Amino acid sequence: MKDAEANLHEFNRQLVWAGFKQLVPISVFVAVFGAAFGLAAVQTGLDGSVILTMSALVFAGASQFAALELWGPQVPLFTLMITVFAINARHLLMGATLYPWLRHLPPAKRYSVMFTTSDANWAMSMQTFGRGQPGIGLLLGGGLALWIFWVLGTLLGIYFGGAIEDPKSLGLDMVMGCFVLAMALGGEKNLRLLMIWIIAAGASLLAYWYLPENTHVVVGAVAGGIAGIFWPEKVSEH
């Protein structure tokens, strides 16, 4: 068992490179949204250097688009910060689920890995851990692919984004959601996980209909997390 646990914590350049290559296909669609963000940010009146810095340091499409909608002299900085935090609050739960495998890393490496964590590489790494295989390399490598394509897409959007004014009209806004759903359906299947997903989805839908914009992400994540806490997974003795 100790050897199997040590294998889960394996982390080297080969695994990072393999994770990078594995996430390149979905990263192409991320670049499309990065371009859309770059274009929208330019139309808001932001300087190109500010736009690139935002994409490089924030690396969260939903919160970046939400910030653009709120951008202006009449919106306090505190309101922007709260909005971005609320939309990205699910990363707190992601970090909690990854902690058993990241706690053995030095703090610098641990937080570097978490910086590149997004929905897609988190879902794939959790599925990999669930199969008894090391997933930290996939988490970092895949995250680097997503980050690079997001920044490059933003750069393209600043200068050449006129051709991608409305990605939603092409259905591209559903790519990431469908990808994460496919990862969830491809993982372990049992009554506990099914009920957690149903609770999270139901809470998210209710929040989407009746609460302020973007709060459904946080509500769904919190509801699913609470359900998981009160319905703990049975630990096998073997």
> Each residue of 166-224: pLDDT tens digit?
656 666 556 555 655 665 666 566 777 788 888 888 988 898 898 876 567 667 767 87
Question: Is there a single domain that holds both residue 109 and residue 200?
Answer: no
Question: Is there a single domain that holds both residue 202 and residue 178?
Answer: no
Where does a domain end: 186, 206, 228?
Answer: 186
Question: Is there a single domain that holds both residue 59 and residue 151?
Answer: yes
Where does a domain end: 143, 170, 186?
Answer: 186
Question: Is there a single domain that holds both residue 19 and residue 43?
Answer: yes
In contact, 94 and 151? CB cutoff 8 Å: no
For residue 201, give Cα distances in angstroms to 192, 208, 217, 227.
14, 10, 10, 12
Domain residues for 232?
189-238
Question: Is there a single domain that holds both residue 32 and residue 128?
Answer: yes
Question: Is there a single domain that holds both residue 83 and residue 174?
Answer: yes
Question: Is there a single domain that holds both residue 155 and residue 208?
Answer: no
Question: Is there a single domain that holds both residue 78 and residue 134?
Answer: yes
The mean predicted confidence, pLDDT, of the chain is 79
Question: Is there a single domain that holds both residue 158 and residue 230?
Answer: no
d(C-alpha 204, C-alpha 178), whole Å: 16
Question: Is there a single domain that holds both residue 179 and residue 218?
Answer: no
Where does a domain end: 171, 186, 201?
Answer: 186
In contact, 118 and 59? CB cutoff 8 Å: yes
Segment 106-150, tens digit of pLDDT: 888 888 899 999 888 998 998 888 888 888 999 999 999 999 999
Dig out the tokens for 220 from the structure: 């769904």
| pLDDT above 70: residue 152 | yes
d(C-alpha 46, C-alpha 41), whole Å: 6
Question: Is there a single domain that holds both residue 43 and residue 66?
Answer: yes
d(C-alpha 117, C-alpha 126), whole Å: 12
pTM listed for this prediction: 0.70
Question: Is there a single domain that holds both residue 117 and residue 22?
Answer: yes
Q: Calculate the CA dihedral of residues 217, 223, 227, 233 and round it to 10 degrees.
A: 20
Q: In whole angstroms, what separates CA 14 from the centre of its chain?
A: 23
Dig out the tokens for 111 from the structure: 């937080």
pLDDT at 55 (0 to 100): 93
The number of distinct structural domains making up the chain is: 2
